[in-house]
Chains A and B, each alone.
Chain A
Amino acid sequence: MQLQHVNIKMFVDGSLDVDPGKFINIFHAWIRDSALDGLLIDVADYRHVPAGPGVMLIGLEGDYNLDNTGDRWGLRYNRKAEVEGNNEDRFRQAIQATATACLLLEETLATEGPLKFSRQEFELCINDRAHAPNTSATLSACQPEIKTFVSQLLGHEDFTIDHDPAPRGLFRLTIKSAKPFDLAKLV
Chain B
Amino acid sequence: MKTSNEIWKDRLNRKLPPQLAEEIDTFETEIELRRQGKMDEVIFAETRLRRGAYGQRYDNGQRHDGKETRTLAYDTNKNTKGVNTVWDAPGMLRIKIPYGGMNIEQLEVIAELAEEYSDGIGHITTRQDFQLHFIHIDDTPTIMRRLAAVNITTREACGNSVRNITGCPYAGVCPDEKFDITPYADALTHFLLGHPDAQNFGRKVKPSFSGCAQHACGLAAMHDLAYTAETRMVDGKEQRGFCFVVGGGLGAVPFQAKVFDEFLPMEEMLPIAQAIAKVFSRHGEKKNRSKARMKFLVKQWGIDKFKEEVLAERAKLQHDPRWTEFISRVEDNVEKPLKPPSDLPSIIIGEKLNQWIKTNVRPQRQPGYSTVTVALPLGDLTADQLRSLTDILREFTTGTIRTTVEQNFVIRWISNSDIPAVYDALSRAGIGSAGACNILDIVTCPGTDTCKLGISSSRGLSAQLRKQLDEKCFKLDEAIQNLHVKVSGCFNSCGQHHIADIGFYGVNRTVNGFQVPHFQVVLGGQWENNAGSYGMPIIAIASKRIPDALDRITNYYLRLRETDESFLTFIKRIGKAAIRQELHSLTQNAPTYEQDPTYYTDWSDPREYSTGDIGRGECAGEVVSAYQFAMTDAERMVFEAQIHLDENDAQNAGNEAYAAMLKSAKAIVQMKYDDVSNDADEIVEEFRERYYDTKLFFDPFAGGKFASYFFAAHDNASQAYTEESARHTIEEAQLFVEAIHACYNRLRQEGLS
Chain A residues whose C-beta falls within 8 Å of the C-beta of B385 in the assembled complex = 51
Interfacial residues of chain A within 63-92, with CB under 8 A of chain B in the complex: 63, 65, 69-70, 80-82
Q: Is the CB of A51 within 8 A of B449?
A: no
Q: Is the CB of B463 within 8 A of A41?
A: no
What per-residue 1/0 map shows which CB atoms of A1-33 lie under 8 Å from chain B?
Answer: 010110000000000000001001100100110
Q: Which of A101-109, A128-136, A144-152, A178-186 is the contact stretch?
A: A128-136
Q: Is the CB of A28 within 8 A of B380?
A: no
Question: In whole angstroms, what is the CA distance A28 to B63 when docked?
Answer: 11
Q: Which of B2, B119, B120 has the most CB of A within 10 A?
A: B120
A41-B58, A58-B119 as given contacts; A80 in contact with B1, CB under 8 Å: yes
Q: Is the CB of B449 within 8 A of A44?
A: yes
Q: Is the CB of A127 within 8 A of B430?
A: no
Q: Is the CB of B3 within 8 A of A128?
A: yes
Interfacial residues of chain B within 560-612, with CB under 8 A of chain A in the complex: 604-607
A50-B430, A80-B136 as given contacts; A130 in contact with B7, CB under 8 Å: yes
Q: A113 at the A/B interface (Cβ < 8 Å)?
A: no
Chain B residues whose C-beta falls within 8 Å of the C-beta of A48 in the assembled complex = 377-378, 380, 463, 466-467
Chain B residues whose C-beta falls within 8 Å of the C-beta of A41 in the assembled complex = 58, 63, 72, 89-90
Question: In whole angstroms, what is the CA distance A170 to B449 when docked?
Answer: 28
Q: Is the CB of B4 within 8 A of A130?
A: yes
Chain A residues whose C-beta falls within 8 Å of the C-beta of B120 in the assembled complex = 52-53, 69
Closest to B459 in A: A45
Q: B67 at the A/B interface (Cβ < 8 Å)?
A: yes
Q: Is the CB of A32 within 8 A of B66?
A: yes
What per-residue 1/0 map shows which CB atoms of B47-67 lie under 8 Å from chain A?
Answer: 000000000011000010111
A48-B377, A82-B3 as given contacts; A130 in contact with B121, CB under 8 Å: no
Closest to B7 in A: A130
Q: A159 at the A/B interface (Cβ < 8 Å)?
A: no
Q: Is the CB of B4 within 8 A of A49?
A: no
Chain A residues whose C-beta falls within 8 Å of the C-beta of B430 in the assembled complex = 49-52
**B407, chain A: closest CB distance, angstroms:** 12
Q: Which of B3, B66, B90, B384 contacts A28 (CB 8 A)?
A: B66
Question: In whole angstroms, what is the CA distance A158 to B466 when docked?
Answer: 47
Q: A35 at the A/B interface (Cβ < 8 Å)?
A: no
A49-B377, A52-B382, A63-B119 as given contacts; A58 in contact with B3, CB under 8 Å: no
Chain B residues whose C-beta falls within 8 Å of the C-beta of A157 in the assembled complex = none
Q: Which of A5, A47, A53, A129 contacts B119 (CB 8 A)?
A: A53
Q: B381 at the A/B interface (Cβ < 8 Å)?
A: yes
Question: In whole angstroms, what is the CA distance A130 to B645 when docked?
Answer: 61
Chain A residues whose C-beta falls within 8 Å of the C-beta of B112 in the assembled complex = 129, 168
Q: Is the CB of A4 within 8 A of B66?
A: no
Q: A56 at the A/B interface (Cβ < 8 Å)?
A: yes
**A84, chain B: closest CB distance, angstroms:** 10
Interfacial residues of chain B within 397-438, with CB under 8 A of chain A in the complex: 430-431
Q: Is the CB of B384 within 8 A of A4?
A: no
Chain A residues whose C-beta falls within 8 Å of the C-beta of B295 in the assembled complex = none
A28-B607, A48-B377, A49-B121 as given contacts; A170 in contact with B66, CB under 8 Å: no
Closest to B67 in A: A32
Chain B residues whose C-beta falls within 8 Å of the C-beta of A80 in the assembled complex = 1-2, 136
Q: Is the CB of A46 within 8 A of B2?
A: no
**A46, chain B: closest CB distance, angstroms:** 6
Q: Which of B4, B8, B136, B459 contacts A4 (CB 8 A)?
A: B4
Q: Which of A5, A39, A58, A168 contacts B74 (CB 8 A)?
A: A39
Q: Is the CB of B4 within 8 A of A131?
A: yes
**B323, chain A: closest CB distance, angstroms:** 42
Question: In whole angstroms, what is the CA distance A81 to B115 when docked?
Answer: 15
A41-B90, A52-B120 as given contacts; A128 in contact with B63, CB under 8 Å: no
A5-B3, A45-B460 as given contacts; A128 in contact with B116, CB under 8 Å: yes
Q: Which of B2, B67, B73 contacts A128 (CB 8 A)?
A: B2
Question: In whole angstroms, what is the CA distance A60 to B332 when docked?
Answer: 47
Q: Is the CB of B11 within 8 A of A130?
A: yes
Q: B88 at the A/B interface (Cβ < 8 Å)?
A: yes
**B146, chain A: closest CB distance, angstroms:** 10
Q: B27 at the A/B interface (Cβ < 8 Å)?
A: no
Q: Is the CB of A45 within 8 A of B1?
A: no
Q: Which of A25, A69, A82, A128 contacts B384 (CB 8 A)?
A: A69
Chain B residues whose C-beta falls within 8 Å of the C-beta of A81 in the assembled complex = 1
Chain A residues whose C-beta falls within 8 Å of the C-beta of B7 in the assembled complex = 130-131
**B33, chain A: closest CB distance, angstroms:** 23
**B131, chain A: closest CB distance, angstroms:** 13
Q: B497 at the A/B interface (Cβ < 8 Å)?
A: no
Q: B134 at the A/B interface (Cβ < 8 Å)?
A: yes
**A141, chain B: closest CB distance, angstroms:** 15
Q: Which of A32, A56, A58, A127 contacts B116 (CB 8 A)?
A: A127
Chain B residues whose C-beta falls within 8 Å of the C-beta of A65 in the assembled complex = 119
Chain B residues whose C-beta falls within 8 Å of the C-beta of A53 in the assembled complex = 119-121, 382
Chain A residues whose C-beta falls within 8 Å of the C-beta of B459 in the assembled complex = 45
Chain A residues whose C-beta falls within 8 Å of the C-beta of B381 in the assembled complex = 49
Chain A residues whose C-beta falls within 8 Å of the C-beta of B72 in the assembled complex = 39, 41
A-B pairs, 3 with minimum CB distance: A50-B430, A130-B4, A130-B7
- 5 A-B pairs besides A2-B3, A58-B90, A128-B4 with CB distance below 8 A are A45-B463, A48-B467, A49-B430, A65-B119, A168-B111
22 A-B residue contacts at CB 8 Å? A2-B3, A5-B116, A25-B606, A28-B66, A41-B89, A41-B90, A42-B134, A43-B605, A46-B121, A48-B380, A49-B121, A49-B377, A49-B380, A52-B121, A52-B380, A58-B90, A69-B120, A80-B2, A82-B1, A82-B3, A127-B115, A168-B108
Interfacial residues, chain A to chain B (CB-CB below 8 A): 2, 4-5, 21, 24-25, 28, 31-32, 39, 41-53, 56, 58, 60, 63, 65, 69-70, 80-82, 127-131, 168, 170
